[in-house]
Structure 1
Amino acid sequence: MDLFHLLEQQDMVLRISFSILILMSIISWSIIFIRLLKLVGMKGKNKKMLNAFWQSNNIKEAQEKADKDRSVISSVLRKVLPSYLKYQQNKTAVVGLQAQLSLKDYLTLNISNAITQTIRPFESGLVALASIGAVAPFIGLFGTVWGIFNALMDISQQGQVSIATVSAPIGEALVATAMGLFVAIPAVLAYNAITRLNRNISQDLDSFAHDLYIYLLNHQENK
């Protein structure tokens, strides 16, 4: 069945319903491709950067390696190491309330903020995917109900009922439900998959944050 031919035969309400579903599908697949493109290979990049960090001779060398890398671990290092070196070299250079913190609290605050800022971009689009997955079936169902209602009204006006007069309009109306599911199912599956990948990245960062905190704290104490 030609979708464009089907839209030409429907009233404005069904055309709006189909248009909304098409728009949702475009948004959903755009988010899926963008998110997956950013997540593909990220675990390998993190592992490579992690090895490079621990093989560094000093913090400045680790910082130089992080500046050339694009993993999430390097993103955390680019935020934490400069502030740590600033605190280590001259605590008076740290302004505001942070200057009143001990090194332990200062590292905890900065590492926590760095992880939050690094993870946040990976969560963009998830609300849209969840909303599309939840709403699209109902929009499709609404289109089907409206189409069946119009079909029954036309049949009542004709004054005769047959398989041919009933099956065609109702079959066209059911396309709306099928389209709603076609939009919702990939969105829900992608939401679950991306959420799981984000959780893995978050767990890797939490593990690295603990090791980084211990190292920086001991590095200061050994000065």
Structure 2
Amino acid sequence: MNLGLVFEQGDAVLIFVFLSLVVMSIATWSIIIWRTFRLLKAKKANRVELEKFWNASSIAEAHKNVDAQYSPLAQMINESIELKNTYQQRQQPGNLAIQVPFDTYMTRHIRNAMTKALRPFESGLTTLASIGATAPFIGLFGTVWGIYHALINISAAGQMSIAAVAGPIGEALVATAAGLFVAIPAVLAYNALVRGNKTLSHELDSFAHDLHAQLAVEKKTQE
């Protein structure tokens, strides 16, 4: 099966189909490598920053020690501590913050900080889902188009032998195989990355309760 014949003998539509699948395949594997590396790096960084947090003697020391460059957990910690430190400054006449108790205020902002920290890990998932859903149909379209033109050419040439039919149709069927070759890794990677994001989200959500409790204790000791 010579794929070069597709580009040598195929028309513009069939060539466009194959080029589209090539671009989709490159995009899929680029996202897989990039997102997998980033997710694994974030989970490793979270373990390191979590240990730094619990080994700190105070919230201020924890805020100073944790590094939020690669860790969404550290990003959530830093942003929550900064909001806790500015809570008193927000309590001024006419400010809505004065009407919100500290526990409610911190619960809301820790949740927002967690969402913000997890948002970058959603990038690329829509592309993988779209490729996984559309690549098989693009390949099927290329096959149908290729078979149609192959039959037209065979009919015009008046050749009805098996050899004359099998060759062009076989080349056209490559488009379907190419579409599946692109779609299957995209779907598997999408499911794996979504699962990884859920695990990361559960880790942050579990720690968020401990962080809230620790900030509440810190505030009480300062009063």
TM-score w.r.t. the length of structure 2 is: 0.93
Residues 8 and 93 of structure 1, relative CA distance in 2, 3 Å threshold: farther
Residue of structure 1 equivalent to 2:39: 39
Quick check: 2:73–2:204 contact (8 Å CA) kept in 1?
yes
Report deviation, 1:69.
5.5
Residue of structure 2 equivalent to 1:55: 55
Residue of structure 1 equivalent to 2:199: 200
Residue of structure 1 equivalent to 2:153: 154
Report deviation, 1:171.
0.5
Q: Does 1:117 align with 2:116?
A: yes
Q: Which runs of 5+ in 2 are unaligned?
A: none
Q: Does 1:138 align with 2:137?
A: yes
SS state at 2:57 partner: coil
Q: Deviations over 1:64-109 (max 9, x none)?
A: 1124663111011121111111225x44379953343210111011
The one-letter code of the counterpart of 1:98 is A
Structure 2: distance between partners of 1:117 and 1:221 = 27
Q: Deviations over 1:34-88 (max 9, x none)?
A: 1011012432321221121011111111011124663111011121111111225
Structure 2: distance between partners of 1:179 and 1:105 = 54
Structure 2: distance between partners of 1:132 and 1:170 = 25
Percent sequence identity is 50
Residue of structure 1 equivalent to 2:24: 24
Residue of structure 2 equivalent to 1:11: 11
SS state at 1:193 partner: helix
Residue correspondences, number: 222
The one-letter code of the counterpart of 1:3 is L
| Stretch moving more, 153-162 or 119-128 | 153-162
SS state at 1:43 partner: helix
SS state at 1:222 partner: helix
Q: Deviations over 1:1-34 (max 9, x none)?
A: 4434421210111011111111111111111111
Structure 1: distance between partners of 2:187 and 2:49 = 32
Residue of structure 1 equivalent to 2:91: 92
Report deviation, 1:159.
2.1
Q: Which runs of 5+ in 1 are unaligned?
A: none
Structure 2: distance between partners of 1:164 and 1:48 = 64
SS state at 1:188 partner: helix
Structure 1: distance between partners of 2:53 and 2:176 = 53
Structure 2: distance between partners of 1:131 and 1:62 = 42
Quick check: 2:63–2:78 contact (8 Å CA) kept in 1?
yes
Residues 23 and 142 of structure 1, relative CA distance in 2, 3 Å threshold: same
Q: Does 1:80 align with 2:85?
A: no
TM-score w.r.t. the length of structure 1 is: 0.93
Structure 2: distance between partners of 1:15 and 1:99 = 65
